[in-house]
Every structure is written in structure tokens, then in C-alpha cells.
Amino acid sequence: LFIRGDPYESSDAVFGVKKSLVVSLDKVDEVTSSEFQVQEGTWLLRYDFVLVSEEETLALRDHNAVAALRDLGLTHLKLVDHLPVPELD
């Protein structure tokens, strides 16, 4: 995540900066302070993280592996336990 106004907000050459990763900081208000026992006025970051399930991860990994093999011209392979093996039939 990049804090809005950070010097790297527009120049991070390693990770790149997407608009969806630029966030603003708020201050903890009285209600939030009481609810979470945090000092009022503390900086607060709100961001919705989206996690991918293990099943979705494995499916995407397999899909990308098959596409990469196809791009290399390796079409007589299948995936077994997520690893490429020759199709012998």
C-alpha cells in the first residue's frame, strides 16, 4: 500500500503503483477509540484486503501452467498433482 502523498506513490520502479493501492490515512475518532481501546487521534488506515481461497489459487496456478506449456509448444502434457507429466496414451 502507498500512503497518498508518499514520494514513492508515483515512482516505485520495483512494484509499480496502482491507483487501488494508494490510500489515505484518517484519524481515530471518539467512537472508534472507545470500541478498540486506541488513543483518539491515532492515524487510521482503512483498506479491504481480498484473499483468494486455496482452491482458487490451485485452479489459477494450473490454468497458467497449462497456458505456459501450450505457449512453449508442449501440448502432450497433463498436470498431475499440479506438475506437468507426459501423456503416454
- The cell for 66 is 497449462
Local confidence pLDDT in tens for the 89 residues of the chain: 888 988 877 777 677 788 888 899 999 999 999 999 999 999 999 999 999 999 999 999 999 999 999 999 988 988 899 889 998 87
The three three-digit cell numbers of residue 42, written as one number: 491515532
* Rounded distance between C-alpha atoms, residue 86 and residue 75, angstroms: 9
Looking at residue 72, its pLDDT comes to 93
Are both 8 and 41 inside the same structural domain? yes
Give the pLDDT of residue 66. 92
Let me know whether 34 and 63 are in one domain: no
Q: What is the pLDDT of residue 45?
A: 95
List the domain range (segments joined by +) for residue 13.
2-45
Report whether 62 contacts 77 (CB < 8 A): no
pLDDT at residue 55, as a whole number: 95
Shared domain check, 35 and 6 = yes
Number of domains in the chain: 2
* Contact status, residue 28 vs residue 40, Cβ threshold 8 Å: yes
